[in-house]
Amino acid sequence: MARIIAVADSYDAMTSNRSYRKYMPQEKVRSEIEKNAGKQFDPDVAETMLGVIDSDVDYVLHE
């Protein structure tokens, strides 16, 4: 459960507007998750999230 939450929370943080920055573009978010799969993120969970991101062609998942 914690491994899923780690990826989901990171996705939410990167795709939400913050007081100090605007949300990241989908390509950048995808790149960060892909780059950190097997390091910061469980590789299986990251792979699943990448599939979700790839299916979100209109980027409706952010905020």
Which pLDDT tens digits describe the chain residue by residue (63 residues)?
A: 999 999 999 999 999 999 999 999 999 999 999 999 999 999 999 999 999 999 998 888 775
Is residue 63 in some structural domain? no
Number of compact structural domains in the chain? 1
Phi, psi of 37 (to 5 degrees): -65, 130
The span from the CA of 53 to the CA of 33, in Å, is 10
Q: What is the pTM of this model?
A: 0.88
Is residue 43 in some structural domain? yes
Is residue 15 in some structural domain? yes
What is the extent of the structural domain holding 25?
Answer: 2-55
Is residue 27 in some structural domain? yes
Is residue 9 in some structural domain? yes
Q: Are 30 and 40 in contact (CB under 8 A)?
A: no
pLDDT of residue 61: 79
* Other beta carbons less than 10 A from residue 43's beta carbon: 12
